[in-house]
């Protein structure tokens, strides 16, 4: 799982890793959000600055992998 804002420092390594995982038939998930804040450092801090941009997608990714806990 990779989460990045469009204004993060570098998207190239994430794109390359995604292609490798796809070619290997491995499960993968990439979320590219709109820019966060005003510069590359704000984009790099996506997790802290903009949880509303990634929370639902992350929960949906993990839902089938995590059985419900005790009631």
- The pLDDT assigned to 52 comes to 97
pTM: 0.79
Are 8 and 49 spatial neighbours (Cβ–Cβ below 8 Å)? no
Query: Token digits for 31?
Result: 């979320």
pLDDT value at residue 65: 85
Q: What confidence score (pLDDT) does residue 69 get?
A: 79
Enumerate the domain spans of the chain. Answer: 2-65
Question: How do the pLDDT tens digits run along the chain, 71 residues long?
Answer: 899 999 999 999 999 999 999 999 998 889 999 999 999 999 999 999 999 999 999 999 889 888 887 87
> Are the C-beta atoms of residues 37 and 45 closer than 8 Å to each other?
yes
Query: Which of 66, 32, 37, 31 is closest to 50 using CA atoms?
Result: 37
């Amino acid at each position: 799982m990779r989460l990045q804002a469009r204004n993060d420092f570098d998207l190239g390594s994430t794109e390359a890793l995604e292609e490798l995982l796809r070619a290997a038939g491995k499960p993968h998930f990439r979320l590219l959000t709109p820019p966060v804040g005003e510069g590359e450092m704000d984009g790099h801090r996506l997790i802290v600055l903009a949880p509303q941009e990634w929370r639902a997608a992350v929960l949906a990714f993990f839902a089938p992998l995590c059985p419900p806990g005790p009631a």
